[in-house]
Copies of this chain bind each other. A is one copy, B any other.
């Protein structure tokens, strides 16, 4: 029995980059770099001969934004990832994670930050291969009706009544493999949420995922993580009041959490963990 180093990576996280001044408005990104490869020496002996400083990664992010522009976050991520793999002999793989914050234009040089969602980009380059994952985080949606939940198994610990009318609310967190138009994928997700008469949040999840695959052939597969943001109908009977689906407690914790992948049966496997 011997002790040895297993999988590892290192990098600079959360490099906050804003690019202004171009005709495309503001680009507001949070960029993280993670590199892996032959990094045993620094772990075992502190020999840093192969350890490009994380400070250099930060510098590279800022310099590339000026040298090459950003373009789409997918392009920017690929450019960065390929650079590190190509120029650092010991580095075999680079993962670039980008959170993007959107701003709405208010005037020729004035903007308002939208706070309703974050755009996610995760690019992985391994040698000559690459993988692009896009996503959305934090988009909160609600249907005030057209949601039921019944027919579930009951055991000794089940007290939940069946319901044929409830609020369905969730925060959409999704990641998809492939390069597609972000706004259009977002619209597909929203359309499916709005348009699905739901018997379970799982059914809504599948409807959202399959809608994206149907409408965006560039997307190979999609993973959704949907918290069930429970809204509890308040029992107002102690006060002599009815409550016909009107007054709710918005709960914090606990919450349901529904996670699922929707895929194509002919999808190429991912080259790296993607959700």
Contacts and interface: CB of A to CB of B under 8 A. Distances in A.
B3 A214 contact: yes
Interface in A44-76: 44-56, 58-60, 62-63, 65-67
A22 B248 CA distance: 13
Contacts of A143: 109-111
Interface stretch (A119-127, A128-136, A148-156): A148-156
A253 B56 contact: no
Contact of A159 (B13, B55, B117, B265): B55
A10 B146 CA distance: 21
Contacts of A245: 20-21
A18 B250 contact: yes
Interface in A173-218: 190, 193-195, 198-200, 202-203, 205-206, 210, 213-214
A141 B112 contact: yes
A240 B40 CA distance: 33
B200 A42 contact: yes
Given A42-B203, A48-B200, A115 B141 contact: no
A32 interface: yes
A4 B250 contact: no
A194 B107 contact: yes
A136 to B, nearest CB: 12
Nearest to A205: B43
Contacts of A223: 6
Given A3-B210, A43-B205, A160 B55 contact: yes
Contacts of A13: 227, 253-257
Given A20-B144, A54-B228, A113-B140, A28 B262 contact: no
Interface string A2-19: 111111111111111111
A158 interface: yes
A137 B74 CA distance: 32
A138 B110 contact: no
Given A17-B247, A111-B144, 18 more contacts: A1-B266, A4-B262, A5-B261, A5-B262, A6-B262, A8-B202, A13-B227, A14-B253, A20-B167, A20-B246, A21-B245, A51-B202, A55-B160, A63-B236, A66-B236, A107-B195, A110-B193, A112-B142
19 contacts: A1-B264, A5-B263, A6-B221, A13-B256, A17-B248, A17-B250, A18-B167, A18-B249, A43-B205, A52-B152, A53-B152, A54-B228, A54-B256, A54-B257, A56-B157, A62-B234, A62-B236, A65-B246, A109-B145
